[in-house]
Chain A
Amino acid sequence: MAAVLPVGTRKGLFLLRGGDGAWDVEGPMLPGWSVFHAVLDPRDEALYAATNNPFYGATVHRSDDLGKTWERAEELALPEEGDLKLNATWHVEPGQGSELWLGGDPGVLFRSDDRGMTWEVNRGLLDDPTRERWQPGAGGMCTHSVQLVDGAMYVGISAAGTFRSEDGGDTWAPLNRSVAAEFMPDPYPEVGQCVHKLLAHPKRPERLWQQNHCGVYRSDDRGENWERLDGNGLPTSFGFPLALDPDDPDVAYVIPEQSQEHHYSAEGRLGVYKTTDAGSSWQLASNGLPERAWVAVLREGLAFDQDAIYFGTQNGSVWTAPRGAGRWTEAVRDLPPILSVEAAAA
């Protein structure tokens, strides 16, 4: 099946179009901007990019013609009276109705109702009473995961943890019970966990998965309790990306890294690991991937759709496999360092 992959890189955005082994590359778009994440909104095919520049700050761009022309957010900032400044934009998530959500650094969430032109900060998360116990991870204090399922909203913040809101974002509850924060004096605090990626299963919304700084976890009760899953076939507990199967809630994929000190693929190979039993066991699913490799796949670098699974590496390759990850092929190589991959139907 044909697909469009918005691929965010350190040097702009690329659109990959194709499938069945042949891919066309368009780009770079938004040259000069690091695209931390880009997504095609299924409601109207608007293309949104969370864009960052070391000189000119953090913003969001929108294109209504698949990248030919762009508009930039007019109002996107934290309140002037506060002590915090917007350091980065990390993730755009289409919501219900006119909602568009944006996660950013420092541990903040914004909502837009005008297709990304003006953004209002979520005061519930900004004023969360546990915020003083949050701290930045190596990539900053980023709200990188935003999940909207079954009337609830979940965010993953590094290093604050997982939070859920059931009142549209007015209030948030921490959901970090039994999730380790081994770098803290208390290894099981209420908040401060370093979640690296959080996903809810689209067809079983009470089931959440997270790749954490300290392990891989699954929750079957909307994040109230978590089970650690990384001792059963994964080479390490550390990694960033996470993908699910759109239909089978027992299937998940991770790409472990060597350690928190060594951010490259574990055991010197590009290893995608797959579980088909909800994390009780993991198997290497790397047919076609290089067996000697020291590369990194970032937290937004792994995506899936109904037909396939995709990931992009820090050394600029995009790999694809049919759903199930039976055989990988390199779709594109030699892009700039890849920060994000998303998938949409062509």
Chain B
Amino acid sequence: MAVVLLPAVLAAEAGGQKRFDVAAETVGEALRQLPVRNLLFDETGQLRRLINVYVDGIDARGGRLLDEPLSPSAEVRVVGAVAGG
């Protein structure tokens, strides 16, 4: 099972749960299983613009993003984009 880690605000919205074990073949499939999926995706199904996703420490936006394949041992980290000072 891959692991998805959420930042504090999303974890609070998920009943306080920060870590989720998910069976999924892609990043998108994993994120859509989460109870906070409507905070991650807009109404067109697009990942919100200021959300970054790292798979085993590598920015998935630099790859295939939601179609990025997941191994069962993968760690997916959801992070709000950092901007400014």
**Chain A proximity of B58: nearest CB distance (Å):** 20
CB–CB A55/B44 < 8 A: no
**Chain B proximity of A12: nearest CB distance (Å):** 11
Task: Give the bracket for the number of chain B residues in contact with chain A.
Answer: 10 to 19
State whether the Cβ of A79 lies closer than 8 Å to any Cβ in chain B.
Answer: yes
| 8 Å CB interface, B25-53 against A | 36, 38-40, 42-45, 48, 50-51
* Segment from A70-78, A150-158, A337-345 that makes contact with B: A70-78
CB–CB A55/B81 < 8 A: yes
Smallest CB-CB separation from B10: which chain A residue?
A56
Residues of A contacting B80 in the complex (Cβ-Cβ under 8 angstroms): 54-56
For B1-25 the 0/1 string (1 means CB < 8 A from A) is: 0000000111011000000000000
Report which of B36, B39, B44, B50 forms a contact with A85, defined as CB distance below 8 A. B44
CB–CB B43/A56 < 8 A: no
CB–CB A85/B13 < 8 A: no
Report which of B12, B45, B48 forms a contact with A55, defined as CB distance below 8 A. B48
For A40-82 the 0/1 string (1 means CB < 8 A from B) is: 0000000000000111110100000000000010111111100
Smallest CB-CB separation from A30: which chain B residue?
B12
CB–CB A31/B9 < 8 A: yes
State whether the Cβ of A86 lies closer than 8 Å to any Cβ in chain B.
Answer: yes
CB–CB A53/B43 < 8 A: no
CB–CB B50/A54 < 8 A: yes
| 8 Å CB interface, A280-322 against B | none
CB–CB B81/A86 < 8 A: no
Residues of B contacting A77 in the complex (Cβ-Cβ under 8 angstroms): 38, 42-43
Residues of B contacting A57 in the complex (Cβ-Cβ under 8 angstroms): 38-39, 42, 48
Given contacts A55-B48, A55-B50, contact A32 B39 (CB under 8 A): no
Residues of A contacting B50 in the complex (Cβ-Cβ under 8 angstroms): 54-55
Task: Give the bracket for the number of chain A residues in contact with chain B.
Answer: 10 to 19
- The complex places the Cα of A72 from the Cα of B9 at a distance, in Å, of 13
Residues of B contacting A53 in the complex (Cβ-Cβ under 8 angstroms): 9, 39
CB–CB A32/B51 < 8 A: no
**Chain B proximity of A26: nearest CB distance (Å):** 17
Residues of B contacting A55 in the complex (Cβ-Cβ under 8 angstroms): 9, 48, 50-51, 80-81
State the main secondary structure of chain A at its contact with B.
loop
Given contacts A31-B12, A32-B12, contact A74 B38 (CB under 8 A): yes
Smallest CB-CB separation from B9: which chain A residue?
A32
CB–CB B42/A56 < 8 A: no
- The complex places the Cα of A75 from the Cα of B38 at a distance, in Å, of 8
| 8 Å CB interface, A244-289 against B | none
**Chain A proximity of B59: nearest CB distance (Å):** 16
- The complex places the Cα of A173 from the Cα of B42 at a distance, in Å, of 30
**Chain A proximity of B20: nearest CB distance (Å):** 16
CB–CB A85/B42 < 8 A: yes
Smallest CB-CB separation from B42: which chain A residue?
A85
State whether the Cβ of A33 lies closer than 8 Å to any Cβ in chain B.
Answer: yes
Report which of A31, A59, A78, A80 forms a contact with B39, defined as CB distance below 8 A. A59
A-B contact pairs, 26 of them (CB 8 A): A31-B9, A32-B8, A32-B12, A33-B9, A53-B9, A54-B50, A54-B80, A55-B48, A55-B50, A55-B51, A55-B80, A55-B81, A56-B9, A56-B10, A56-B39, A57-B39, A59-B38, A59-B39, A74-B38, A76-B38, A77-B43, A78-B43, A80-B43, A85-B42, A86-B42, A86-B43
Please give the residue numbers on chain A whose beta carbons come within 8 Å of chain B beta carbons, in ascending order: 31-33, 53-57, 59, 72, 74-80, 85-86
Please give the residue numbers on chain B whose beta carbons come within 8 Å of chain A beta carbons, in ascending order: 8-10, 12-13, 36, 38-40, 42-45, 48, 50-51, 80-81
Given A57-B39, A85-B42, 14 additional A-B pairs, CB 8 A: A33-B9, A54-B50, A55-B48, A55-B51, A55-B81, A56-B36, A56-B40, A59-B39, A76-B38, A77-B43, A79-B43, A85-B43, A85-B44, A86-B42
